[in-house]
Structure 1
Amino acid sequence: MYIVLISVHGLIRGHDLELGRDADTGGQTKYVVELARALGEHPGVEQVVLLTRRVVDSQVSADYAEVFELLSDKASIVRIACGEDKYLRKEMLWDSLENFSDNVLAYLKSQPRMPDVLHSHYADAGYVGSRLSHQLGIPLVHTGHSLGRNKRQQLLASGIKRSEIESIYHISRRIEAEETTLGTAERVITSTQQEIEQQYGLYDFYQPERMRVISPGTDLTQFFPPQGDEKKSPMAMALKRYLKQPNKPMILALSRPDPKKNIVALIEAYGGSPALQQAANLVIVAGNRDDIQEMETVSKGVLTEILLAIDKHDLYGKLAYPKHHKPQEVAVLYRLAASSGGVFVNPALTEPFGLTLIEAAACGLPIVATEDGGPTDIIRNCQNGHLINPLDKAAMADTLLQVLADKVAWRRLARKGVEGVRRFYSWPAHVERYLSVIRPLVEKTELITRMNLQRRSGTFRNQAIFASLDLNLLGDKVSLAPFLQTMQAHRKAIIFGIATGRGLDDALSTLKRHYIPQPDVLITGQGTQIHYAPNLTEDAVWARHIDHQWNIQAVRDLLKEFPGLTMQPKSQQSAFKLSYYMDPTVASVHEIQQLLLRNEQAVNVIFSFGQFLDVLPVRASKGLALRWCAEQFGFPLEKTLVAGVTGADADMLRGNTLGVVVDNRHLAELADLATIEKIFFSKQPYAAGILEAMTHYNFFADDKVGTAV
């Protein structure tokens, strides 16, 4: 078999890859080089060529100007001219891709034979591969690596305006190229099933029957079981200065300092379990840092929380949190933990794949990981650990203790991890699976069905549905099922959002408990936090926006002795929300508002469910958060169905939205909305009331594709 790989952007060479040099020279460049090399070692492959862009630029190595580079006897890199010679970021290459495609076509026609298959990597190569596939009649295989629709959401969450996203990242061209590629490719290769369903599922030309999961390969020359010399390494010496009993088993967590990685919850679980503290040390490796105060806001916040949690539970001498580590020391950390009889833990709220779990397993280290996404596949394949609910700290501690306590089971898990990685996640295993996927395309032994490719008219997902949780989605399983089926049928046409007074952890565990899929937008804490799917990306700009004139300590002091108010548990409080139980026979919302205003505290005071009182920054509420999201995503309020049940939902329902007050026992809190003609009051409760409103507003009239489903 003769295979051509196409990876246009970045700096690609066969040695000393400049990983992390910039956003374009990362995991993808490493993957395509290693894939080319691994394919070249397989007896069933005659030749593999990796085509990339030729760069002639004094600012980068002359290696990238070499037209030809040999990787092995059967594998090589060929660099093709693509517009300007100088090194450009990938977003600047769109106008040059036809030039690159024409040059690749000329190169292929000059060779003794045509390739059997083209394999494009990322949207730009997908665009090129689609053109070549049509011109040459050669099957196209595609790997996205990341997708434009998700990237756009992440950029919006970071505070970049839609107009800037277009001018800087040309995101619409990228998404259009991805649609074109999905319509052409006979196979799309992904890392996980979750990637297929949650990311590719948002595209018009989504064809799941053409998609195959092939997990990335792991370099077993770097990740292998302990050899005995790791205990003398500089990293081992660095950890010893933190620990009173450094020879105890090690619980190792390794991730960047990101709220989604849930490291603080792990520390809380460890700190709340004397038995676990007695059994093992905890080692937290959360990126590299010099001065936390100088780090970007999100990382600074997570690291500060880590230090506060360590101090709260007085974990000094039991917990190590080194400031620096080199890339090559990651494998040493796994081996140190394995040699101690320890365990690797990934407590992330969401984990699309989980490469660190495979690396740890290859080093003979049992794993405990979140039950979300990739870890479920890894543990099912390797049988080398346990899945946990990342929101259940007590269960997390118990599971870790279970792994550490049973030495016989520990050795079995360690052995199965090493064997499982070799079988499922090594490069030879990856290549075998890869060839089994593409061989039927080459031999034409597998019928490829082609869908009737038809783009939706109008803007992608220009409608939205936002609903609260309690007494709305929750309360009636019978009506929830058809509501969720309706949302799934129209998933390409609408943005689905949930707005709740619950905190993030509470909301996520509630969704999981009721089998409600993660929404596109999750507004929590009465509108004080916004997270976006698929990776629970927090809108950090929203947090900075609502911090305006907010003085939580002043509000707390003013309400400390107010009659009829009782503070809710600490778990219900947050940096932007003070929560109380209020006795309405003793206290009134109006009196509380007047007291705070007299003392120059401009805030939002929200009363709901007949007993809960929340005080928020003046810029925060469910309605304001909803409108922020509408601005970010570009969906019109006039096409946004909003379902609410209590006073906390009032400002979501007012205005230009299509409001529905779902029938419930707290209607008195929304009685003043009854005079607003535009707001619909459903006769049915719970999710049935939302379905009733969909019919009332003829909400899906414009979604012909969804209606067909």
Structure 2
Amino acid sequence: MSGRTGRLTTFARASGAEPERRGPEGRGHGGAGLYIVLISLHGLVRGHNLELGRDADTGGQIKYVVELARALAAAPEVRRVDLLTRQVIDPKVDPDYARPEEVLAPKARIVRLPFGPRRYLRKEVLWPYLDSFVDQALQHVRRVGQLPDVVHGHYADAGYAGARLAGLLGVPFVFTGHSLGRVKRERLLAQGMRPQAIEAQYNISQRIEAEEQALDAADLVVASTRQEVEEQYASYDNHHPRRMAVIPPGVDLARFHPPRRGEGDPPIAAELARFLREPRRPMILALSRPDPRKNLVTLVQAYAENHRLRALANLVIVAGNRDDIRAMERGPREVLTELLLAIDRYDLYGLVAYPRHHEPSDVADLYRLAARRRGVFVNPALTEPFGLTLIEAAASGLPVVATHDGGPREILARCHNGLLVDPLDADAMGEALLEALTDRARWQRWSKAGVRGVHRHYSWASHAATYLRALRRVLRRRPRRRTVVPTRSRLPMVERLLVADIDNTLIGDREGLAALLEALTASGARVGFAVATGRRLDSALAVLEAWGVPVPDILVTAVGAEIHYGHWMIEDVSWQRHIDYRWDRPRLVEAMAELPGLRLQPASEQRRHKLSYFVEPERAPSVRAIRRHLRQRDLHANVIFSHGRYLDLLPIRASKGMALRYLAVKWGLTPERILVAGDSGNDEEMLRGDMLGVVVGNYSPELERLRGRSRVYFAEGRCAWGILEGLRHYRFLEEEIRVPETASA
């Protein structure tokens, strides 16, 4: 290891483009047909007895992705569908959610990957663990041994993770937001909730930024309604309608159908009758999660204050399942408490049914029971991106009264089976319900029209066909070269890899550095050595030489924009092709020239995939404003601000963390065999996820937020001494590495 030309391990033939594996159709997989990966991370996902309404996270989206997986798998041109979600090992939930895999259909399965704590978590606290999901998903792809043709993320959390996964695999990315953070924030503000409270409860800024990143990376955005595209997504900087497709969800027509002649009352009818003095009166049915957005209290007010309506019909509210309201999470607890107080205030006992429990099989029975009673379904939600319950009700022959927002407007325009109302106008809602119930001839027309409209517009078979047509257009547009192919490593001598930042981590203490290099030399050829730095290549090599560090096996330079191998510094050209995705350097230079307080750094600091600027803080816009400026021009870049005066633009696929995950896939190293050491905020992305992290003792305060993570060790030693301490902590140079779980149970 002595001398400028020394190497810790030979990374031979490391720069060539990866070989492609093509199936009979020319796709990068091992057989004919499409391999589709769907991602839905929060809530409780299984293929049977869905616990819809159990909490705010287990609702219509869960049903949507499960049915989508089944519908796509039924298409002849699809070979495999994997629905990736979170594994939950928690005595408070069913053991089904701990099973690693569950078969949905002959070509579809649910795959549950462990990330974060084992216990069930609400979606707002999953954000710190999403990088770990990406690491786990990469390992799943390796186990499958074939690349997916597309990755489709559902909701903001899976949008963030799916964009990264698709980027690392070099495959197209599809995004469905379901409900959007900007819209939610506007509604909560309109209700009088303070911005600080919204942020504290919902992590709304992080959610919105994740949605922006997902839209930035998406080749296709699937929306349920035209209103989503024109009004909801339009509030985002990355609103590009040409990449959006409106594909309404489907409904299981075998399960949801009108009442059949001779059918008796279902079991759920007896449960409702316990609440009602006259259970055979017409039924006003509401079915939703106990979520403030569902606006159930206004529905109670609308019913209670319309005396003709109270005299004509019963109100049935099915708001999830509960045992003890006091034991529920804050949001559902507050909604149900307010609901019960409203029922008590208006003295609606005997007129309103609000069962504590129902089975998934009861849902279709409830629609048919309401239709048999000549009732109406009501959706009073403040916002409704689509409204799956509306098409279920329509398929069951039950007319509807629904909020004048989003999906209901388009559903009723197609099905002609009810009325739209202002969800904030309780009086108008009550009158609409009364009107729907009192004209029997029109009720019959609405019932028949709803069934016809659903069969015409909302079957899962038609949804899958439209989805696959849109997907084929994306696949034709995108090049078929697969940049990162999960093959066996071409470096069989390397069993594990140490990665260190340079400044203030690897260098800064000569005695500590000498001790570290001696330990690495003694470990032999099985341990590879890499550096990841913001420096350009020549600067990195110069400072390493000045400190007597042999040329590493891998150099990740320019904040992740470049990867070079070994003594001859052979460039990884496949990485360059990989990060070139949506990188338009000339237009970026033009757009940045429009902003004040920014000056290009010298040509020596510029790289093919890095634009660097000096910043005048008193004149320059904020990083958020710069991102928005670029996104509104359909320009795509990672914007990195450091040390209060430097700004770098990189491709959206380029960063030190993404480069390391690329290397892990390319060279066949699992995250547990990569140890990453850093000292500052620009190392944070490397330290997150499933790799083993070491924060050296002289770290910057911004890394304090990582304290407590089981795979991030805070060393006491400074610089290289801290790296050595971390190596000992994980026993990284010993026969068996000490690998903590990704989070405490």
| Structure 2 length-normalised TM | 0.51
d(CA) in 2 for partners of 1:300, 1:401: 27
Residue 190 (structure 1) aligns with: 223
Counterpart AA for 1:285: I
Partner of 2:497: none
Match of 2:64 in 1: 31
Indicate whether 1:270 and 2:296 are aligned: no
Q: Relative to structure 1, is the Cα distance of residues 230 and 161 closer, same or farther in structure 2, using a 3 angstrom cutoff?
A: farther
Is 2:419 the partner of 1:419?
A: no
2:301–2:342 CA contact under 8 A, matched in 1:
no
- Judge conservation of contact 1:230–1:332 (CA < 8 Å) in 2: no
**1:83-232 matched pairs, under 5 angstroms:** 90=123, 94=127, 96-105=129-138, 107-108=140-141, 111=144, 113-150=146-183, 162=196, 165=199, 171-227=204-260, 231-232=264-265
| 1:38-53 → structure 2 map (5 Å cutoff) | 38-53=71-86
Residues 468-519 of structure 1: CA deviation (Å, up to 9, x unaligned): xxxxxxxxxxxxxxxxxxxxx9xxxxxxxxxxxxxxxxxxxxxxxxxxxxxx
More displaced 10-residue stretch of structure 1: 360-369 or 402-411: 402-411
Q: Distance in 2 between matches of 1:245 and 1:413?
A: 25
8 Å contact 1:242–1:320 — kept in the other structure? yes
| Alignment match, 1:658 | none
Displacement after TM superposition at 1:185 (Å): 0.0
| 1:368 aligned to which of 401, 410, 416 | 401
Note closer, same or farther for the CA distance 1:231–1:67 as it changes in structure 2 (3 Å cut).
closer
What's 1:336 paired with? 369
Contact 2:304 2:310 in 1 (8 A): no
1:200 Cα deviation from its structure 2 partner = 2.8
Is 1:429 aligned to residue 466 of structure 2? no
Matched-pair contact (CA < 8 Å) for 1:268–1:393: no
Please tell me whether the aligned partners of residues 422 and 429 of structure 1 are also in contact (alpha carbons under 8 angstroms). Answer: no
Distance in 2 (alpha carbons) for counterparts of 1:66 and 1:177 = 28
What SS is found at the alignment partner of 1:48?
Answer: strand
Larger mean Cα displacement after TM superposition, 431-440 or 388-397: 388-397
Contact residue 266 and residue 347 of structure 1 kept, 8 A: no
Q: Where does 1:383-402 land on structure 2 (aligned, <5 Å)?
A: 383-389=416-422, 399-400=432-433
Q: 1:407 to 1:12 in 2, by over 3 A?
A: closer
Give the SS at the match of 1:224: coil
1-side partners of 2:387 and 2:105: how far apart?
A: 30
Contact residue 269 and residue 396 of structure 1 kept, 8 A: no
For 2:270 and 2:450, how far apart are their aligned partners in 1? 27
1:379 Cα deviation (Å)? Answer: 0.8
* Distance of 1:170 and 1:391 partners within structure 2: 26
> Does 2:490 align with 1:458?
no
Tell whether the 8 Å contact from 1:243 to 1:281 is kept in structure 2 after alignment.
no
Q: What's the CA shift string for 1:162-195, capped at 9, x where partnerless?
A: 49946x8655444333222111101112233343
1:380 matched to 2:416? The reply is: no
For residue 107 of structure 2, what is the amino acid of its counterpart? K
Structure-2 separation of matches of 1:164 and 1:63:
33
Q: SS at 2:77's partner residue?
A: coil
1:3 CA displacement:
1.4
Corresponding residue for residue 260 of structure 1: 295
| Aligned counterpart in structure 2 of residue 285 of structure 1, from 299, 317, 338 | 317
- The 3-state SS of whatever aligns with 2:105 is coil
Distance of 2:178 and 2:91 partners within structure 1: 29
Matched residues in 1 for 2:222 and 2:261: separation? Answer: 38
Whether the 8 Å contact between 2:42 and 2:85 is mirrored in structure 1 is yes
Matched, 1:326 2:363: no
Aligned mates of 1:398, 1:159 — CA distance in 2: 29
Q: Is the 8 A contact 2:84 2:113 kept in 1?
A: yes
Q: Post-superposition shift, 1:330?
A: 3.7
Q: Which amino acid aligns with 2:295?
A: K
Pick closer, same or farther for the CA change 1:38–1:310 going to 2, 3 Å.
same
The Cα of 1:249 is off from its aligned counterpart by 3.6
Query: How far does residue 343 in structure 1 lie from its aligned partner after superposition?
Result: 2.5
Counterpart CA distance in 2 for 1:127 and 1:74 is: 26
The alpha-carbon distance between structure 1 residues 389 and 90, as it changes in their structure 2 partners (threshold 3 A), is: closer
Name the SS for the 1:430 alignment partner: helix
SS of 2:295's equivalent in the other structure is helix
Q: Separation in 2 of the partners of 1:43 and 1:434?
A: 14
Per the alignment, in what secondary structure is the counterpart of residue 152 of structure 2?
A: strand
Alignment correspondent of 2:109: 76
CA contact (8 A) 1:3 1:118 kept: yes
CA distance, structure 2, for counterparts of residue 292 and residue 80 of structure 1: 31
> Over aligned residue pairs, what C-alpha RMSD do you find?
4.5
Query: Structure 1's 68 and 440: CA in aligned 2 closer, same or farther, altered over 3 A?
Result: same
For residues 348-387 of structure 1, give each alpha carbon's deviation from its aligned partner in whole angstroms, at most 9, with x where no partner exists. Answer: 5554433332222121112233333322111111122233
SS at match of 2:364: helix
SS in 1 for 2:228: helix
Report how far residue 70 of structure 1 moved: 3.0
Residues 2-21 of structure 1 correspond to what in structure 2 (within 5 A)? Answer: 2-17=35-50
Whether the aligned pair in 2 keeps the contact of 1:122 and 1:145 (CA below 8 Å) is: yes
The correspondence for 1:304, drawn from 321, 341, 344, is 341
Do 1:368 and 1:388's aligned partners in 2 also have CA atoms closer than 8 Å? yes
CA distance in structure 2 between the aligned counterparts of 1:223 and 1:449, rounded to whole angstroms: 44
**2-structure distance, mates of 1:49, 1:88:** 22
Query: In 1, distance between residues paired with 2:582 and 2:128?
Result: 32
Q: CA deviation at 1:427?
A: 2.5
1:128 to 1:283, Cα distance in 2 relative to 1, 3 A: closer
- Whichever residue aligns with residue 223 of structure 2, its letter is T
CA offset at residue 72 of structure 1? Answer: 2.2
Spell out, residue by residue over 1:199-247, the C-alpha distance to the aligned partner (whole angstroms, 9 max, x if none).
4333222223322233333333443222367653454345556666654
Q: Using the alignment, how far apart are the partners of 2:207 and 2:422 within structure 1? A: 36
Tell me, yes or no, if the aligned pair for 1:189 and 1:213 is still in contact at 8 Å. yes
Unpaired runs of 5+ residues, structure 2, are 1-33, 480-580, 596-620, 627-631, 633-745
Letter paired with 1:206:
H
Tell me if the contact between 2:400 and 2:417 (Cα under 8 Å) persists in the aligned partners.
yes
CA separation in 1, counterparts of 2:145 and 2:160?
A: 25
1:607-659 residue CA offsets vs partner (Å, 9 max, x unmatched): xxxxxxxxxxxxxxxxxxxxxxxxxxxxxxxxxxxxxxxxxxxxxxxxxxxxx
1:73 offset after TM fit, Å? 2.0
Match of 1:443 among 465, 472, 476: 476
Contact kept? 2:151, 2:174, Cα under 8 Å? yes
**Secondary structure in structure 2 of the residue aligned to 1:188:** strand
Gap change, CA 1:423 and 1:449, over 3 Å in 2: farther
* Equivalent runs, 1:228-627 vs 2, <5 Å: 231-240=264-273, 246-254=279-287, 256=290, 260-261=295-296, 262-267=298-303, 270-271=306-307, 273=308, 280-285=312-317, 287=319, 296=333, 299-309=336-346, 319-328=351-360, 329-348=362-381, 350-389=383-422, 399-400=432-433, 403-444=436-477, 457-458=621-622
Percent identity for Structure 1 against Structure 2: 50
- Assess if the C-alpha contact under 8 Å between 2:303 and 2:430 holds in 1: no
In the aligned structure 1, how far is the partner of 2:277 from the partner of 2:57? Answer: 43
Secondary structure of 2:83's aligned partner: strand
Q: Deviations over 1:546-569 (max 9, x none)?
A: xxxxxxxxxxxxxxxxxxxxxxxx
Q: 1:87 to 1:240 in 2, by over 3 A?
A: closer
| Pairwise CA distance, 1:18 | 5.3
